[in-house]
Chains A and B, each alone.
Chain A
Amino acid sequence: MSSLSSAWSRSRPHLLLALPGLLLAGALVAGGLSWRAQATNRDIAALEANHDRPVTTEAPAQLILARVLQLARRDATEAMEPLVAALESRDAPALLARARYALGNARLRRALDLIERGQLDPAGPLIVLARQEYRRALQARPAFWDAKFNLDVASRLIRDFPELDRQIGDELKAEPKKIWTDIPGQPRGAP
């Protein structure tokens, strides 16, 4: 006990010397982190206000997502893909789900636009890709109701035909998927 207290009294001056330095250095680091988060938030706000500013794949996940959502508003799916792939490696399932969902939306909007103009052939693959994105979004975040809703919309445009695949064999599989030429939500015939 006495050796403990003597050790304490011997080391106390050194501890007292080290403590302010350590604490103030920690305060500086935390302040820097806070400042950086605020700077990122300003960038996100600028992207939400639709100011064009490029975002690298190294940026914080929230900033990448803001850029993905901005590109989705312009239906620029090619530019979105590398950013969505970058989000894949981050441990942020909710952000990844939102990004995949936005990519699916952009593809589906383009497909709907093509259907409006009567170009059904190029619309089909876009719808299939959009459904894949929604499915992956739901895999990342099962309780994502907007993704469920839009997957339902896309699924009524092109349905899976598992029975045909299974029973008739490989030759039919390669055929382009059947597409409904009407607006979504008006099914003709049962799947």
Chain B
Amino acid sequence: MRLALALLLTVLAGPAVAQLRGVEVRVPRTFGYFLGDLVEATVAVEAEPGFALQASSLPQAGPVTYWLDLRRVETRQEGTRHILHLTYQTFYAAIDARSLEVPGFPLVLTRGADHGSTTAPVEVPGWSLGLSPLREVQPARRADPADYLRPDGLGPRLDPIPARNAALGLGVAGLLALVLLARDRAWWPFRPRPARAFADAARRLAALARGPESEAGYREGLLALHRGLDAKAGHRLLADDLDDFLARHPAFRAQREGLARFFAASRIAFFGGSVAEARDRLPLAEAGATARALAAAERAA
């Protein structure tokens, strides 16, 4: 304790209490307390080894006398020292400074053994507490007796600022995350990007698949995927280059079969002159699925 000063040191002696070496009550100060003040007291009991405080003998929190409450009792043990931290609260409305007696209390120490236990009673001594008046004995005269009282005062308001700052911070972070997502998916304004070439192709194919079926539309869809592959490869990619391309971009290997069918259909459509046959082999929706899978692999790469 900060200002610990030994207040009382009672050494109990004699054969009846041989297990007990001493009881000590310490308080930071014994004077200058106003009503409502908390009073911290520490009781240290020095006992023979093996003894422990009996929990049921500890003082209970609650009123001690009409002017004193015991608010809290905490115990701890340091070797053979048993220490109690007691927090009192005084409600004595003093008119002059005076000392009042804080009553002592009994404690019981026990030592457990196989054939029953040894108990040792301890008497914690009372101590005196110096209480001070808060006001003068005769205050100045007031016309209205209610003027002697302190005013009711005002309560606090809620503080909306932390929640507002959190909302602003999360909002800004959310917009940033949205920008990141747009970049990842090659949405506006991040559209024309070779790193997201398949995203563009997949979008174009999805748009064409929604529209009416036509030869021109089918060709345009195939061309969109071609352009995506060209952009990804960095040069015009033909069917024979596919293995080379997949070796350099292993992320798209899973789509090897789809891509091979796409090149085959493309050859029939553009060089075989039969769009209908090409569409039989590879419907536009399937080309779109391949493009979507490529776009997803591209994002994960």
Contact = CB atoms under 8 A, between A and B. Distances in A.
A95 B155 contact: yes
A13 B89 contact: no
Given A12-B300, A27-B170, A151 B154 contact: no
Interface in A65-83: 65-66, 69, 72-73
Nearest to B95: A187
B152 interface: yes
On chain A, which size bracket covers the interface? 35 or more
A139 interface: yes
Nearest to B139: A185
B179 to A, nearest CB: 9
B67 interface: yes
A148 B174 contact: no
B17 interface: no
B146 to A, nearest CB: 5
Contacts of A153: 135, 148-149
Q: Is the interface of A mostly helix, strand, loop or mixed?
A: helix
A139 B167 contact: no
B178 A44 contact: no
B89 A66 contact: no
Nearest to B156: A62
B170 A37 contact: no
Contact of B155 (A35, A65, A156): A65
Interface residues of B, number: 60
Contacts of B36: 138, 142, 144, 147-148, 151
Interface in B99-155: 133-139, 141-142, 145-146, 148-155
Interface string A135-156: 1001100101011111111011
B245 interface: no
Contacts of A20: 174-175, 177-178, 181
A33 B269 CA distance: 61
A165 B161 CA distance: 55
Contacts of B174: 19-20, 22-24, 26-27
B146 A112 contact: yes
A142 B67 CA distance: 14
Given A44-B157, A65-B155, A98-B155, A31 B148 contact: no
A156 B156 contact: no
A133 to B, nearest CB: 12
Interface string B152-177: 11111111110110111111011101
A34 B160 contact: yes
A157 to B, nearest CB: 10
Interface string B18-38: 000000000000000011111
B155 A69 contact: yes
The 8 A-B residue pairs with the shortest CB-CB distance, nearest first, are A155-B93, A23-B174, A27-B170, A34-B163, A30-B167, A37-B160, A31-B167, A24-B174
7 contacts: A27-B170, A34-B163, A98-B155, A105-B152, A139-B71, A155-B93, A185-B138
Interface of B: 34-38, 65-67, 69, 71, 89, 91, 93, 95, 133-139, 141-142, 145-146, 148-161, 163-164, 166-171, 173-175, 177-178, 180-181, 184-185, 296, 299-301
